[in-house]
Amino acid sequence: MLESDKSSYGLSRQTWSFLASRACELGDHDAATLVYHEIIDPIEAYLDPAFNGLDNPHVPFLLFPDILASLAVIFMHNGNHVPVVGIQSYFKKFYSYFWHRTIYRTIALAKIESQAKAGLFSRALSDFVSLAWQHRGYRGLTKGSVVEHNLKYALDKNQKSRQEAILASNDPLNDSTIEYNKYTLPGKTFQSIFDGVISIADTPYFNELIRSKVKQVIAERSSVTERLVNFISSNHHGLTTPVVAALCSDGLVFEAWAVVNQARASFPRVHKKVFFRGGEVFVQMFKAIKAKFNTSEITASELRQLSELLQTCRNMCSETYDPGWSYECRLACLQALLACPSSLGQEIRLYLYEWISEHKSHSRLQKPLIALTKTDYEKLISINVGDTIISCVYPISEN
């Protein structure tokens, strides 16, 4: 049917829409590829030697934004980065970044991840940095109405310029100087589209690529900390988390903390809440410290140094997020305290009372619900922390 004379026969839009939906539902890469080459970036355009590959003039109709996001994710998991780039261009031309922020973010992350899975480190890094700058970070948020007004104002201004450029262009469909979805104005404050940050869970393939690069640096045994800090400072502070995670995964907790301190000094104007990524850096450190405590090869000297590092991380976390640690930070710190052989029962009791008190002041619930592995739960029971605290804790499977 696809090879038939299109002037006399063609698949209906409903059929293509159904195929696109089923491709997304089943995660079928072949079906997604067919939809991409027939609907999003029709292959027919490439038969014309004059086509420059920028804006395909044969797009038959528009797919829903959520379909585009799902197709991008399918291509991402298959390491097929080329169609993800095409989907992003298609989305940029026909849809608003601001009004479809979640979809835009999903496609942008899929682009980073697909390139990372394909081993294209430079491209993945460049796109990661570009997307990271579009996040506002964890800091005092501007009112939503103000952000919306500023973004719409910039968009309207740029739309007028774009319309003038379209009228003046000899080939507006393929003119690369005509830019869509531009939310910045010369001499004006940069307006971030997204709140928060790119979290470690958003980019597993990119994180694995970072880990392989960190391993290469470690293997060379030459100015490891300085080189990693230079890598972060020359790109974006958001790279601190994957670099620290890579070091922690290999048990290099002291090296990881050295990178954290030096990288933070490289960004004096970045608020500490933004730099520490909503507590993700601390979560990585606490988990790595716990894992280090649980190793049988640890010496008395390392035990003392680890205990001091745990206390240093706790103090820094308190300074950064007082009052109001995230649940993940609190839990990871508690698990590290329970794993530390030198932790006193009184210290753990005080920590838990502090957690409960903090929770009461920030939540309608009277007490937090703390999920611990069976091993950690039994340790807590043996410390005899009291019925009030135990009533907040419940054991879960360690699998």
- C-alpha 296/C-alpha 179 separation (Å) is 59
How many CA atoms lie within 13 Å of 314's alpha carbon, on the beta-carbon side? 20
pTM of the entire predicted model = 0.84
Do 26 and 61 reside in the same domain of the chain?
yes
Taking the CA atoms of 359, 365, 366 and 367 in sequence, report the sign of the dihedral they define: negative
Residue 167 lies in a domain: no
What is the sign of the dihedral through the CA atoms of 236, 237, 243 and 245? negative
- The DSSP symbol for 244 reads H
Residue 178, classed as helix, strand or coil, is: coil
**Does 238 share its domain with 311?**
yes
- Using CA atoms, how far apart are residues 394 and 330, in angstroms rounded to an integer? 15
The answer to whether 333 touches 286, Cβ cutoff 8 Å, is: yes
Assigned domain for 80 exists: yes
Q: Which pLDDT belongs to residue 72?
A: 98
Q: How much is the pLDDT for 191?
A: 63
Domains held by the chain: number: 3
Query: What is the distance between the alpha carbons of residues 298 and 295, in angstroms, rounded to a whole number?
Result: 6
- The confidence score (pLDDT) of residue 46 equals 82
Q: What is the CA radius of gyration of the chain?
A: 26
- In a domain, residue 248? The reply is yes
Diameter over CA atoms, the chain? 83
Amino acid letter, residue 138:
Y
Q: Single out the residue in 159, 190, 214 at which a domain terminates.
A: 159
Residue 221 pLDDT? 86
Give pLDDT < 70 ranges for the chain.
1-9, 138-153, 155, 171-177, 181-192, 323, 361-367, 398-399
**Does one domain contain both 18 and 77?**
yes
Per-residue pLDDT, 230: 97
Q: Assess whether 33 and 79 both reside in one domain.
A: yes
302 plus 357 within the same structural domain: no
Flag whether 384 is in a domain.
Answer: yes
pLDDT at position 183 is: 64
3-state secondary structure at position 155? helix
Kindly write down the DSSP assignment for every residue of 340-362, as one continuous string: -TT--HHHHHHHHHHHHHHHHHH
What is the C-alpha separation between 44 and 53, in angstroms, rounded? Answer: 11
**206/72 same-domain check:** no
Q: pLDDT for 83-142, tens place per residue? A: 999 999 999 888 888 788 899 999 999 999 999 999 999 999 999 999 998 887 755 555
Same domain, 210 and 335: yes
Q: What's the CATH number where 28 sits? A: 1.25.40
**Domain encompassing residue 293:** 198-342
Are 327 and 213 in the same domain? yes
Do 212 and 117 contact (CB within 8 A), yes or no? no
Among 296, 311, 342, the domain-final residue is 342
Residue type, 235: N
Write the CA distances from 216 to 154, 227, 299, integer angstroms: 43, 11, 27
- Output the six-digit token pair for 234: 């020359």
Q: What is the DSSP letter of 4?
A: S
Question: Which of helix, strand or coil describes residue 25?
Answer: helix
**Within a domain: 240:** yes
- Which residues pair with residue 373 across a beta bridge? 396
Q: What are phi and psi of 32, to 5 degrees?
A: -60, -40
Q: What angle do CA 50, 65, 178 make, to 5 degrees?
A: 40
User: Could you tell me if residue 310 is inside a domain?
Assistant: yes
326 neighbors 271 (Cβ within 8 angstroms)? no
- Asked whether residue 188 is domain-assigned, the answer is no
| 323 cis-preceded (ω within 30 degrees of 0) | yes
Convert the pLDDT of each residue in 352-391 to its tens digit.
888 888 777 666 555 678 889 998 988 888 888 778 788 8
CB-based contact 102:73 (threshold 8 Å)? no
Q: Are strands 370-373 and 393-396 parallel, antiparallel or unpaired?
A: parallel
Q: Same domain for 221 and 318?
A: yes
Is residue 49 located within the same domain as residue 104? Answer: yes
Structure token digits, residue 199: 């979290």
Regarding whether 139 and 25 lie in a shared domain, the answer is yes
Q: Are the C-beta atoms of 155 and 98 separated by less than 8 Å?
A: yes
Name the phi and psi angles at 248, rounded to 5. Answer: -65, -35
Helix axes 253-266, 300-321, angle to 10 degrees: 30
322 lies in some domain: yes
Q: What ranges make up the beta strands (E) of the chain?
A: 370-373, 393-396
Same-domain check for residues 357 and 338: no
First to last CA, the chain: 50
